[in-house]
Amino acid sequence: MKKSELNAEMKSENPETQMVAIHKTAMVHPESRLGHGVVVGPYSIIEKNVTIGDNCQIGNFCVIQGNTTIGKDCQFFTGAVIGSTPQDKKFDGNGQVYLFIGDANIFREYVTVNPGTPEGGGKTTIGNDNLLMAYSHVAHDCVIGNHCIMANNATLAGHVTLEDMAVVGGLTAVHQFVRLGRLSIVGGCSKVVQDIPPFSMCDGHPAKVYSLNSVGLKRAKIPSEKIKILRKAFKILFHSGLSKTHALEQIEKEIPSCPEIEHLLFFTKTSKRGLCS
């Protein structure tokens, strides 16, 4: 609900400056911290240890709880539940766990996001300018970079990492401890049990690498020369029949170095769950 639509139903923390507009049915803990221009819609709940940055809009029936810190210009649509207890049977409620959310993120209807766990480092982190579509879920100890998209019903298990500009298709499930590389895209209804290489297009059950994410690279304004180099590296890594170790050695010998190639090599070498085939 937009601020203009709520004016008749809202009460302001400061009538002269309209610093914060809270609907009369919303419940906002007096010790929570709300920035300038925050709007809280009907029947939403903001609990004690929550900090919300300037110009955020909290829709109807949202719940924001726990040790949650949110940046500026974020939007939360109907029914979003942010900062609720991790869905981890080992978590007994003891220990400080946190959720950090950056700026300009959009959380559509009924999105759920959990904080970290003590065993996993204690925090879940979401960067800037991400879009989490309806019913998507981010579990404990996840790290989401910037400009990522999770389509409807996409789910991340615990300890998952999404690098910048990764895209997760609708109804896709990502296994614990899996990483999705920068500018990768995973098709809808996929089962992701191994790391998704940067710059790749993957799909399937389980997910497999099908090609370079050429469209995503062009949209990200990666020069055509670098796209050609990455395509050659992908052929060696996934279609040469070489083991990953020998393929990496061949790439290092034959492919000109650039930041994108270096990132692909580093990501592959540091994979703990192995790359999608």
Q: In what order do the strands lie in the sheet with 27-28?
A: 27-28, 45-46, 63-64, 81-82, 112-113, 137-138, 155-156, 173-174, 191-192
- Token pair for residue 21? 């507009």
Residue 92 bears catalytic tag:
no
23, 137, 140, 159: the catalytic one is 140
Annotated catalytic residue 203: no
The count of other CB atoms within 10 Å of the CB of residue 272 is: 9
Which is the catalytic residue, given 73, 88, 103, 141? 141
Strand-pair partners of 179: 161
Q: Which of 59, 71, 158, 181 is catalytic?
A: 158
* 14 phi, psi to nearest 5 deg: -145, 95
d(CA 48, CA 152): 30
SS3 content of the chain, % helix, strand, coil (to 5): 20, 30, 50
Q: Active-site residue 102, yes or no?
A: no
Residue positions annotated with a catalytic role: 140-141, 158
